[in-house]
Amino acid sequence: MTNLAIGVDIGGTKLAAGVIDEAGAVLDVEHRDTPDSDVKATEEAIVEAVEALAARHEVRAVGVGAAGWIATDHATVLFSPHLAWRGEPLRDELAQRIALPLIVENDANATAWAEYRFGAGRGEPVVVCVTLGTGIGGGLVVDGSVYRGAFGMACEYGHMTLVPDGRRCACGNRGCWEMYASGNALARDAQELAAESPVAAARMVELAGAAEAITGTVVTAAAAAGDPAAESICTTMGRSLGRGLASLAAIIDPSVFVIGGGVSAAGELLLRPARAEFAHTLTGRGFRPEAKVVAASLGPEAGMVGAADLARRYLTG
């Protein structure tokens, strides 16, 4: 009997769905746009992608990784800061049209599980995964189980306060970590630099076409090409990342931090200052084992892989 599963990873603007085997290999992929303000259009895109894959492969289950707080029923999106879901019974809505066993999981939990099972966290007892994208997502795997908390809302690391009364976040609070260490943070810092010093930001403006079009991807590309201003922005963000990791270490004491998401493509430009700041601000530094800080190894496919593997684990054994 086949043991293939479909994993769906829903981002703020696009979704990717893939057929995943038991070894975590991606066999086939479908992509769709996801309008962030239209719940039904997003659900339609999920159904279309799953149906296309199921028509080509014999699959046993579907796992949907969604950005937001997922209730412990693996069915309901309670809140999503970057999508329009509010108390959305996503599994039930999808189950009306998808005739396969189905779960809904937080996208960062799915990524953490994939890295634990098949990637940079494999074999580690306590894995903290931090995903740097539009915002910051997070997942935690302890002794082979995803930790979700009492209500399914654990590990929203991006919304812990890094700077009291700092920048306002989409969640409604101020000073959240993701306002200082995310793709949006990179873009905002670069756009502010372009407004204040167009000469310093000239390379990033050239790559983007206009100052207001600078994205996190543009910043990391410019930094990788040796642009000093972009490198400085990545270094500043890396330090913010490291300070947040130190706070997490004081609470969780992981064996490894796995850093993923699109912004992690900056690699050592980001991780080097993050490790330095982490070591500098770690509680009890010098008198305790220090968690490793490593790059994720599965890339943008991790969310799909993890969602599929969790669906197979929960629904089919």
Output 89 or 117, whichever has higher pLDDT. 117
pLDDT value for 141: 98
| Residue 299 φ/ψ region, left for φ over 0, alpha for ψ in the -120 to 50 degree band, beta for the rest | left
Does domain 4-113+301-315 correspond to CATH entry 3.30.1490.100?
no
pLDDT value for 317: 60
pLDDT over 80 at 154, yes or no: yes
pLDDT value for 10: 87
Per-residue confidence band for 36, with pLDDT thresholds at 50, 70 and 90 = low
* Cα–chain center distance at 196: 31
Structural domain spans, the chain = 4-113+301-315, 122-182+229-296
Single pTM value for the model: 0.90
Residues near 227 by Cβ (< 8 Å), separated by ≥ 6?
203, 204
Question: CA 121, 122, 124, 128: dihedral to nearest 10 degrees?
Answer: 30
pLDDT value for 75: 86
pLDDT over 80 at 225, yes or no: yes
How many whole angstroms separate alpha carbon 37 and alpha carbon 34? 9
How many whole angstroms separate alpha carbon 113 and alpha carbon 252? 17
Per-residue confidence band for 74, with pLDDT thresholds at 50, 70 and 90 = confident
pLDDT digits over 235-291, tens only? 999 999 999 999 999 999 999 999 998 888 889 999 999 999 999 999 999 999 999
pLDDT digits over 131-143, tens only? 998 889 899 999 9
pLDDT digits over 157-204, tens only? 999 999 999 999 988 899 999 999 999 999 999 999 999 999 999 999
How many whole angstroms separate alpha carbon 120 and alpha carbon 261? 13
Tokens (6 digits) for 208: 């983007």
Q: Do domains 4-113+301-315 and 122-182+229-296 have the same CATH topology?
A: yes
CATH of 122-182+229-296, picked from 3.30.420.40, 3.30.559.10, 3.40.50.1820, 3.30.70.100, is 3.30.420.40
* Amino acid occupying residue 174: R
pLDDT value for 171: 83
Look up tokens 């980001």; give the residue.
270
Look up tokens 């699109």; give the residue.
262
Q: 218 vs 137, 299, 301, CA distance in Å?
A: 21, 18, 21
